[in-house]
Amino acid sequence: MRVFRSVVSAVLGGVALCCLAACEPNPPISDGPISLSVTGQVLSIAICRDVDIIEISAAVREPGTEWVEFFNGTGELTVTRGDSYDLEALASMLTVTVNDDPMVSERTEVDVFIQGRKSSQNLYTSLKIGEDGQDGKWLRGDGTVGVEPCTS
């Protein structure tokens, strides 16, 4: 029995060591450097750091409902801190597979995931629009609201 335990321990230790040495960790996701704004029914997204984007996906839901993807675009887009885009502008710069205008209200939750060329550039935010994200104000990923999309 001791031999069996020793063999199992050695095998498991070797597998763990191989995974640690060879496997890349899950890409980091930064929660917050994306801001959202709604003017009328037009949703705008601002990116609050420099990113070389290869994919943007976004989904919405009302409380108690399933997430519905409303935008997915791939390609190469370099953005600098503070750049903002509405969905029409993003669609003109990326190859888009989903582009539906989401119906947004004060209760709408929006998820945005941006995949960067490097995994360290991946960004994610999930925000509830609420009254604060309406009428051209920016709802920032850190929960603050302002006229400018990014804090200094």
Mean pLDDT along residues 139-152? 86
Per DSSP, the three-state class of 141 is coil
62 in any annotated domain: yes
9 in any annotated domain: no
127 contact partners, CB below 8 Å, separation of at least 6: 36, 109, 110, 133, 139, 141
List the structure tokens of 43.
Answer: 């949703």
Mean pLDDT along residues 58-73? 92
- What's the whole-model pTM score? 0.75
Round to whole Å and give the CA distance between 109 and 60.
Answer: 6
Residue 128 main-chain phi, psi, to 5 deg: -95, 125
Mean pLDDT along residues 113-125? 92
Could you give the number of structural domains in the chain? 1
CB of 110 within 8 A of CB of 59?
Answer: yes
The parent domain of residue 129 ranges over 28-146
50 in any annotated domain: yes
Cα separation values, 144 from 2, 56, 63, 92, Å: 59, 23, 21, 30
